[in-house]
Amino acid sequence: MSTVVDVGHQTAFDDLGTPLSEVTFVVVDLETTGGSPTEAGITEIGAVKVRGGQIIGEFQTLVNPGIPVPAFIAVLTGITDAMLCDAPPLSVALPAFLDFAAGCVLVAHNAPYDISFLKGGCTRLARAWPDHAVVDTARLARSVLLRGEVRNCKLSTLAQHFRATTTPTHRALDDARATVDVLHGLIERIGTLGVHSLDELVTYTSRVTPAQRRKKHLANGLPDAPGVYIFRDHKNEALYVGKSQRIRSRVRTYFTASETRTRMAEMVGIATSIDAIVCSSPLEAEVREVRLITELNPRYNRRSKNSGRAVWVKLTVEPFPRLSVVREVRDDVAEGAAYLGPFGSQKTAQEAVEALHAAIPLRTCTDKLSVRRPAATACVLADMGRCSAPCIGAIDAQGYGEIADRMRDALTRDGRLIEQPLRDRLTALSQDLRYEEAAAWRDRLETFARGAARAQEIAALVTMPELIAARALPDRSWEIHVIRYGRLAGAAHAPVGTDPRLTVAAVVAAAEQIAANPRTVPAGLIEETTLILRWLASDGVRLVPGENEVAWSLPAYGASGLLARLTAARRELVVPIPAMDRNLRPAG
């Protein structure tokens, strides 16, 4: 037998910022046969629908689980096999409950248990589980109530503490009614702490400081649109810069338990205002975030503290060029310099240097060499035949220049100059069963390929006066970007039903004017150009013809192809062992 009384209904909502007074809760309790939730041995479902502190509906039904009720369960709940003979099966009872709870927030005491059985029932019925927000009154009580205030957080204890009008009896509807009173008692308690919306309730924890909760009003009025947000202090100085697809929703999480970073709690306590910049696309938001972090140097952004970590490998400009790890790209390419990278650390840059030195006998010393005064002795590498030894005059400036030209070509246009010598070394090491060394050299070759591919892609983009690209979104709208000399000059969104060509014309006309760039470094930040390249390589991006159209191309034998080959054939580089893990040893 089932009973349903429903005098109110709430449709589904998307915004968890809904005030608690406007939220419809369905407080549910189950009785089960025990065992695994996948068996869905539910024997009774009881639920109470409440809104604004008022009961607006109830649901109760016994359920025939199709399996016997264990004796100890029958003693505990009073539900016997005889009572369930004529009860509706799960295929009838569960859909009826889900219809009753549609669009509402589920509440249960020890919710993971009840929800797991409901989900298990949906699985058995091949029915999708609705996307309900869930509140667990047991977890909430452990966060709200003070130590020693109650002896435990069992439903019976909390019902007595909050003077519930119904005593829990291990029957579903009675327990659900008692849980309603516990829920209202907890909500009243945390309301004094500034918790007034659904997201604050769902994520409530005592770890959230009062300062965080008091600042939640800072999110009021922010747009729920993609873009960048800036937390500021009382002096209007930037504390933190972030980006999001939905600014207001993201900023709200800083005032709830969703934000677990300790430094963010400290930042929120200092903040007095939040600025928002709406962007036309996720790429524009990423670029604006990078620019603002660089410009404002907010003290709570880790990226602003690590902005100088990127390094490059440089072929120097001197009579006898060498490779050097540097922290900036200068305007000396026309003089003969070449750059590889950027790399994330000195260590990875040095791995690329080792790969280059293994293939081309450029000098490794850091001394300034004179054409007129060679040194008296050579280094050990020269004795081993791994250096051309210009230091002792073993090679003249012209001959060494040819070696330097090979190195420059390897960095900028022809990865074969590095690939083949390293492949030969890998083969030799494999034949000698020196698998760990082979794996290490394979890693160095891949590090070189990644750095060279990145440098060549950047060089190709930053020399283009204008590049217009568009990507179709799932809703059939378009995001459009104008890139000039490696910098994002304009961005726009063409909604469904509009002519994207008109949007292209408008964004091109309004795009930032950037002076001609004779350099091979971007007009903007390296990180910005890297973001643009990543977007250009994403699925669905297409180039749009423009008035300033210039062919965008990469070297025919550049590092991108080498990197693709290495990625595709990684296990083939060291043939004798099936896995390329340097920690593995050959059997036997």
Separation CA 338–CA 409 (nearest Å): 9
Evaluate the CA torsion angle 420, 423, 424, 425 in order and state its sign: positive
One-letter amino acid at 140 equals L
Written as six digits, the tokens of 412 are 């900028």
Which is nearest to 481 in space by CA: 500, 517, 508, 443?
508
Q: DSSP labels for 193-225?
A: TT--BHHHHHT--TTS-HHHHHGGGGGTT--SS
**Conformational region of residue 389, where left means phi above 0, alpha means psi within -120 to 50, and beta covers everything else:** left
Which is nearest to 108 in space by CA: 44, 178, 213, 18?
178
Which is nearest to 56 in space by CA: 78, 80, 26?
26
Written as six digits, the tokens of 271 are 């903040």
Select which of 170, 217, 481, 493 is catalytic. Answer: 170
Cβ pair 482, 489 in contact under 8 A: yes
**Beta-bridge partners for 521:** none
Separation CA 443–CA 450 (nearest Å): 11
**Conformational region of residue 540, where left means phi above 0, alpha means psi within -120 to 50, and beta covers everything else:** left
For 184, 369, 418, 454, the CA distances from 406, given in Å and listed in that order, are 77, 20, 10, 19
Separation CA 416–CA 54 (nearest Å): 76
Evaluate the CA torsion angle 141, 146, 151, 156 in order and state its sign: negative
Max Cα-Cα span within the chain: 108
**Conformational region of residue 412, where left means phi above 0, alpha means psi within -120 to 50, and beta covers everything else:** alpha
**Conformational region of residue 581, where left means phi above 0, alpha means psi within -120 to 50, and beta covers everything else:** beta
For tokens 């099936």, name the residue: 578
Active site residue 170: yes
Separation CA 486–CA 471 (nearest Å): 18
Cβ pair 231, 263 in contact under 8 A: no
Cβ pair 175, 186 in contact under 8 A: no
Catalytic residues: 170
